[in-house]
Structure formats: structure tokens, C-alpha cells
Structure 1
Amino acid sequence: MSHESQNKPVEVINPRYTEQAIKEKAYLKELKKQPSTKRFMGYVKLSGPGFMNAAFTLGAGSFASSVTLGAAYGYDMLWIPLYSFAFGIFMLALATRFVTGSEMNVIEAQDKFHGKFFGSFATGLVACFIASIVYTFGQYALGSDALTSLFQVVGLPIPKSISWIVLVAISVPLSLMYGSGENPKAVKFVENAMKVMIGIMLLVFGAVICVTGINLPAMVKGLLIPKLPSGMDGIIMLIGSMTATIGVMDWVLFNNGMISRGYSEEHETLGRFDAFFGGLLPVTLILSFVSIAFAEAFSGKPGIPTSSGELCDALVGVIPSVWIQVGFYIGIIALVVSSMIGLSVTCATSFYQSTNVKRDPKAWYHPVVVLAPQIGFLGAFFGKPVMIVVTVAAMQSLFNWISGNSWYLLGNDTRYLGKRVIQSRFFNAGILICISILNIVFITFIMSKLGVWPE
């Protein structure tokens, strides 16, 4: 073999034409003919990108804001993750339509039909690439504190200046495995790992509220009836919570997760199923569990946790069982690691789609691109990541809104989707409400900074 052929970039095959994707497409055609119960179980078996999206959403920012809102407002703010992700589902359904209706990725389509400001810059570089690096600092800050607290519970005095290495050891291999996108079995393995992590979160945070207790009438009211907080601190936390579940990074990750799996027209029902059962349900349950636990623990008490260390230590006093404490910290670690993997994948895909750099899993630069967010390990040495993450999320909402409008137009553009443009007024209305919320979030953030939001 010549030296030239050894250094020739590997040609990446479109995942929708792999043998596994073709078999999956045939299976889905047959599945549509089956009874509803069997069809449901078949979709559960094939689900994956939705769980990736849920695991990504369940990071330091959403956890910290759920903790703070639960501690400060009790059950009143439980509606935020449910309503936010419910409106976000319209964008995930739109991302599904883009993948199943065209082989052109969404950032490329934005560049072609709306200009590079909307695609490569607003969506790719700002809302995804830069944001994924910034958010990783918060993941390491919370995760390293959780690990240090876990080690202390079992009698190991390991400081967070060292414990962050464990996060690297877990997240890096899985990020590289999924980020290559060239091996369908590796992609599925990481998706299954995400399902396991979500299962751990549901189990341990559910166990915590079994210990702290739960007020069922207050929970139902808090979930279904929206109530706005007063004061600057309240509105900023509201902003952070909402943008944690309806941001562009979530849409792009879900979009590219389906591309990695080789989704085509036959997969659209599966994609929508996955967005609901793999995304909305676990995100709402886990964040609600966290808020309820801290609502019970801090009801009527002064001193709301604001640092990553305080977040990890806040419940220890009301959890008598060492094993529940251990489980609580393991849940946080699972939450952080899953989000870090999603950030790495989003960073890489948005970089390649926003630049002229060829995506080559065998190239020397590919691991560098995938692991760029790992610079966030420096967050392990910072004490208060919560407000940093929330503030960045609020500022990012401007670019979420800009990109969201472009996505809406693409969904109705026959040049991109042909006959598969959105036909439903309800679907279009849901998308417009979602991106309008993003605009309101940015405006209210500016209002709060100007001091015009009521105390």
C-alpha cells in the first residue's frame, strides 16, 4: 500500500444506507401493520436519540435550577420542565421532519436558504459550538463536587481537584465512540448507556423523595398551573430553567442523533415517539423529583444552595440512610456524565457542519474537535457555577430565537422539504409559540438586568 493511500481520508458512508438502517426501515414498515401494543414495544426497542436528548438536557444547569426553584418556591415551579419540554417537542418533531424529509443537514440548509449568519454562525458556532464548551465548565463543577462528597461518605478524602479525573475517564471514551458516528453498533451502545444513566437517575432521585416525602395535591397543582416568580433572582432562575429544555443545542443533538442512526422517511413516527417517551417523560419526572426533594427539605428554611458544593450537601441532613446518600451522588454523576457526552457530540457535529473542515473520524483532528469541551475540567476548581450557567443560558436564548425562526421557515420551505413541508396549522402554531417563548426569555432577562422587573 502506498504512503498516499495510507493518508487518504476515509469516505464516510451516509448512515441511512448502511445495512442496519435498511433492515430497520423494513422492520418499521412491518411494525405499522402490528397491533398497538406490539407496535409500542417495537418503538421502545428502537428508541435512542430521544434518550440521548433527555440525558443531554439533564445536566448541571437544569439540575441546579430545579434545586434552587424547589428550595425557594416549593412546588409552585414544577410546571417549568413539563411546559418547556412540551413546547420543545414541536422543535424536536421539526428536527425529525428535517432528517426524514431531506438528506441535507439543517445547518447546511440554513446556510443555503437563509445565509451563513443564521446557519453556521448563529446555530452552529454560537448556539452549539461555543455554548457546548461553556456549559461543560458547569458539569465539571457539579460533578467533581458530587464525586468528592461520594468519596467522603465512604471514607475516602479525595478532593475535587482530583475527582474530576473520574469524569474524564467515563465521558471521553463514550464521547469518542458516539462522536465518530461510523459504527452503528457503537452509536447504539452509547444510546443504551444513556438509557441506563437515565434509569439510575429515576431510581435514585425517586428513592430520595420517598425519604423526604411528597405533597401530592401541591405536586399536581405545581405541575399543571403555571405561576411566575417575582424579583430579579426569581426571573433569572426561571429563564435558566426554560432555556435548559428548549434550546438549539437540544434540537441539533436530536437531529444529528437521528442522522447517526440513519433515519429516513419511514422513521418519522419513531422519531416523534422517541421525543415524547425518551425525552419529555424522563426529563419531567427527574427534574420534578429533584425539585420536590428540595421543596420538602427547605420548606420554610432560610439559605438556598447556590454553589455546587452546597447543592451536593443540601439533602444530606434529611437523608438518614448512607446508601440513599450514595445513590443521590451517583444520580448527580450520571446526570453530569450523560450531559457531557451530549455536549461533546454537539460540539463536534456543529463544528463540522459550520466550517469547511471535512468530517473524517480517522483524521488526527477529529478527537480534538469531539473533546474540545473537556477544557471545562477547569470548572472543577470554581466554586459557584450555578449563576454562570443560568446567565449564559439566558444570553444564548437570543441566538436560540434567531435560529428558531430560521427553522420555522425551513419547515415551510418546499425548496428544502418538497412535498413534506409542514401541512398542519397546529404544528406550525406550536413551533411559533416555542420560539416566541425564547424571545420572551431574552427580553425578560434584559428587563431584569435593567432593574425593571418587579421585586
Structure 2
Amino acid sequence: MASIARLRGYAGEMGPSWVAGAIAAGPATMASLITGGAAYGYDLLWVVVLSAFAGALAQYLAMRLGLLTESGIVSVVESHLGEWWAWLLVADVVVAAGVAQLVIMNTLASVSATITGTDAWIWGLVWAIVLALGLAGQGYGLLESAAKLIVATVVVAFVVSLFVVPVDPGAAVGGLVPSLPGGGALVAAGILGGAVHISLITMHSYTMRAKGWTDREYGLATFDIGASMLVAFGIYSVAIFLVAASVLSDPDLTTVGAAQALGPLVGENARWLFLLGLGGAAVSTLGGNTIVPPFVLADKLGWGTTVEDPRYRGLLAAVALLSAPGAAIGGQVIGQLVLVLALGTVGTPFAIALVIYLLNSPAVSRPTATATNVGGLALLSVSGALAANFLREQIAAGLGPLSGAVLAFGIVLALAMVVLLAKYAREQFRTEDATVEPAD
């Protein structure tokens, strides 16, 4: 009975991981899920399930660092590694989150225009102003409440869609057996990349600080991750994938195009439910993503990371308003969303490496379990392989100004991880050498 009461108490107090889940359950992830289901049927369902566990593990690592240091990740990096490392992390986050902000605004404006018939650029202005007034005025509290409500609504919308879409249970069960169809590697990478992203990893220490959590809330924070990333995000991903795998068969569908295609296939109810879910996902992701660059910049500059500090509030408003031009990008959204995930994939291994290093450094007083380290290293290996594959594709396709800049940034981050590994090995060697007693 005491355990049940504790879980009920946890359910009423959770929040920070739901903000991360709001970003993860966004249109970029949806684009990968739609492409996977439409192109390969149920074959990649096992990857979808795996992505929920990988996302939860990444959040758990970030949670440990935030709770056990009670500081923002940039401050911890600067204290234990130096200013150069902190600025590199800030640049990594701002580039990945900044590009995502523009593309997600384009998605949200496109969905809003599809539903209402009003021009997308007008919706870009409207949503940017709503973001600026809401986040700069109310701060984290509003974002957390909105994230929990919107994510729950989005999950319900897609689950309800399953009742009007003819899912093949036998084929779905077969999709849980790991296999990789020809050409499916990149799609699988995109699905995993949506759950394990640098924005989700770096923001977690700040949202927990805004919530007021410390080491005493370790159990609550762990429950928070399980409920949001493992359960809510997992259901979201599986539901979208099953809808696409069941009735869509065009691998070139856009996210909005998938919703429109559902109308003649299985009825207008499914189309509107899908549009509602897509719109909600875009809103929740845009709101969560807006706070990420201000968090790391304010922390690096020594400012407060709540709206009580007017400088942080100004950063929030600026990032929100600067997202408005994203509505004018135009073009096929799905290709842009793939680029967002790719950029995030390039930056994510560096963030994971920093977290693992810090969890095994004097920054954290509580030792990290071997199983946790093994899981973190596996996560680092997968994300590193995805990043290397993307950069290899860029080189093979021929480098332009944008792809060249991404490649250069990726090389800088890769070299930084090599230096970090060498630094850790040297420190371990010195520690072992110091513990060896001199011979008689």
C-alpha cells in the first residue's frame, strides 16, 4: 500500500522529463516513423520499441548528472573541464536547437494553414508571439503544464487513430523480431535519433533545477522518465508507426501529406485525428525546444535560468520571435526534418561523452554503476555510428557550403571526444599509479 501511495504521489509531481518528451514526440520523429512504416511495413517495429528504451536511458544519464551535481550541465563542464569545453557544448546545442526551431515552426505553420486555410507565414508570426508571451511571461511552470497536457492529448489522438485503421496483429508481432530490410538502415537511424538528441540530454539538468529537485527526488525523477519517455513516448511512436505501416505505402509522403492521404483511405476521422496529433506534436516540440538555447547560454554567461532574471527572459523572447521566419522556408517538410535529425545526430555523441565522463569524475560523489556505464557506452557507440554514417553520406554526395560546415563541425566534435577519452585514460592511469604502494 505504501508503494502504491508513493507512485500516486510521484504521478502528481512529475514534470521535467515530460518537457523532454514533448520535444522527442515531435514532427521530426514523426517523419521518420511515417517513412519507416510506409516504406517497410511492420519490419522496423522493433526499432521503434528500442528507441523508447534508448531515449529513456539517455534521459536517465542526464538526470543523474543534474541531480547529483545540482547544477546546469554547462556549469559542471566548465568547472571540471574548462571554459573551452563549455563553449563547445554551448555551440553544439545552439546550432542543433536553432536549426530545429526554424524547421519545426515551418511544420507547425504548414499544419495550421492546412487546418484553417490561412497563409502559413501569418501562422508563423502568431505562434512566435504566443511563444514569446507565454514562455517569457510564465517560464518553466507554463511549459511543464502545457507539455504534460499536449503530450497526453497527442498520445490519445494517435491511439484513437488505431481504432479506425486496420492493423494486422500478426504482421505487427513479426515486426518485433530484429531485422533490417534493404535500405532501411538510414530510416532506423532516424527513428533512434529522434529519441536520443542533444537538446533532450542538455536541457534536463535545467528543467529539474527549475522544478527544485535535488538528490532527494531521485526516485521521483526516475519515475518521471519512465512515465514520459518510456511509456508516453513509446506509445506515441508505436501508434504512429502502426498507422503508417497499416495503410500508407508511399515512402515519399510528407507528414502533412500522410494526414491528407488517410482521408480517402480510411475516412476523414482518421485524417483529422492525425492532423490534431501532428499539430499538437509540433506545438509541444516548438515550446520545449525554445527554452534549450537560453538555458545553456544563460548558464555559460553566469545569468539566472528562470524568468526572474530579466536577461534570461529576454533570451527566451528572442529565441521565440526569431523562429517566425521558419514559416517562410516552404518546400517539403520531411526533407528538412531529416536534416534536423541529422544535425542533432552529429552533435549528440559529444554530449553523451561529456555526461559519461562527468558521471565518472569527482563532479559526482555517488559512484556510477557498471551497468549504467555499459548502457551509456552502448548509447555512445550507436549515436556515434549514426553521426559517422551521416557525415560519410555528405562526403559521398559532394560538399557544398552547408554540408561542408556540418562536416567541419562534426570533425571538431570527433576530435574533442578523442581528447576527452585520452584525458580520462590519463586520469585513470594516475589514480591507479597513486594507489600502488611503493615496494619495500
TM-score > 0.5 by shorter chain = yes
Paired position in structure 2 for 1:74: 41
> CA contact under 8 A between 1:88 and 1:245: conserved in structure 2?
yes
Q: Which of the numbers 351, 355, 361 marks the counterpart of 1:407?
A: 355
How far residue 242 of structure 1 moved from its aligned partner, in angstroms, is 1.7
Q: Structure 1 309/91 Cα, relative in aligned 2: closer, same or farther at 3 Å?
A: closer
Task: Classify the secondary structure of the residue corresponding to 2:364.
Answer: helix
Given that 1:140 and 1:377 are in contact with CA atoms closer than 8 Å, whether structure 2 keeps it comes out as yes
Q: In structure 2, what is the equivalent of residue 439 of structure 1?
A: 384
Correspondence 1:390 to 2:338: yes
Displacement after TM superposition at 1:198 (Å): 1.4
Provide, for residues 94-137 of structure 1, a one-character-per-residue CA deviation record: whole Å limited to 9, x for no partner: 2222232223322111122223343331x2222x2222121022
Structure 1 position 368, deviation (Å): 3.8
Q: Which residue of 2 aligns with 1:270?
A: 220
Q: What is the aligned partner in structure 2 of residue 256 from structure 1?
A: 206
Contact 2:129 2:321 in 1 (8 A): no
- 1:324, distance to aligned residue in structure 2 (A): 4.2
Instruction: Give the alignment's Cα RMSD to 1 decimal.
Output: 2.4
1:427 aligns with 2:372: yes
* Distance (whole Å) between structure 2 residues aligned to residue 108 and residue 246 of structure 1: 22
Distance 1:82 1:377 in 2: 34
Which runs of structure 2 are paired with 1:292-311 in the superposition (5 Å)? 292-299=242-249, 302=250, 304-306=252-254, 309-311=256-258
Answering whether residue 69 of structure 2 is matched by residue 102 of structure 1, we say: yes
Q: What is the aligned partner in structure 2 of residue 135 from structure 1?
A: 100
**1:230 and 2:182 equivalent?**
yes
Q: Look up the SS of the partner of 2:323 in the other structure.
A: helix
- 1:50-449 equivalences under 5 Å are 50-121=17-88, 123-126=89-92, 128-151=93-116, 157-177=117-137, 179=139, 181=140, 187=141, 189-222=142-175, 224-231=176-183, 234-299=184-249, 302=250, 304-306=252-254, 309-321=256-268, 323-356=269-302, 361=307, 365-371=311-317, 372-381=319-328, 382-413=330-361, 415-418=362-365, 420-422=366-368, 424-449=369-394
* Deviation, structure 1 residue 271: 0.7
Residues 312 and 171 from structure 1, CA distance in 2 versus in 1: closer, same or farther, beyond 3 angstroms? farther
1:3 matched residue in structure 2: none
Q: Distance in 2 between matches of 1:214 and 1:274?
A: 30
CA apart distance, 1:91: 2.7
Q: Secondary structure at the match of 1:230?
A: coil
**Counterparts in 2 of 1:355 and 1:225: CA distance versus 1, 3 Å:** farther
CA deviation map 1:18-71 (0-9, x unaligned): xxxxxxxxxxxxxxxx62211111111111112111111111211111111111
Which residue identity is paired with 1:421?
P
> How far is 1:202 from its partner?
1.7
Contact kept in structure 1, 2:157 and 2:274, CA below 8 Å: yes
Quote the sequence identity (%): 19
Output one character per residue of 1:208-263: Cα deviation in whole Å (capped at 9) or x when no partner: 221112122322332x33333433xx443333322211112111222211111111
User: Separation in 1 of the partners of 2:306 and 2:63?
Assistant: 25
Gaps of 5+ in 1: 1-33, 152-156, 182-186
Q: Which residue of 2 aligns with 1:7?
A: none
Q: Is the 8 A contact 1:61 1:138 kept in 2?
A: no
CA shift, 1:283, in A, is 1.0
SS at match of 1:104: coil
Specify every segment of 5 or more residues in structure 2 that has no aligned partner in the other structure, as ranges: 398-440
Structure 1, 247-256 or 78-87: larger mean CA deviation:
78-87
Q: Secondary structure at the match of 1:394?
A: helix
Amino acid at match of 2:261: A
Displacement of 1:280 after TM fit? 1.6
CA contact (8 A) 1:140 1:376 kept: yes
Given that 2:256 and 2:275 are in contact with CA atoms closer than 8 Å, whether structure 1 keeps it comes out as: no
Cα deviation code 1:265-310 (max 9, x no counterpart): 21011111111112221111112211111112224xx56214x542
| Per-residue deviation, 1:429 | 0.6
Instruction: Indicate how the Cα distance of structure 1 residues 47 and 356 shifts in structure 2: closer, same or farther if over 3 A, else same.
Output: closer
The code of the aligned residue for 1:211 comes to: V
2:188 is aligned with what amino acid? L
Q: Structure 2: how far apart are the matches of 1:235 and 1:365? A: 44
> Contact (CA 8 Å) 2:66, 2:204: kept in 1 or not?
no
Query: Aligned partners of 1:330, 1:446: CA distance in 2, in Å?
Result: 35
Q: Return the alpha-carbon distance in structure 2 between the equivalents of residues 328 and 207 of structure 1.
A: 10
> Residue type of the partner of 1:426?
A
**Number of the residue aligned with 2:415:** none
Q: Distance in 1 between matches of 2:42 and 2:135?
A: 36
CA distance in 1, matches of 2:84, 2:340: 20
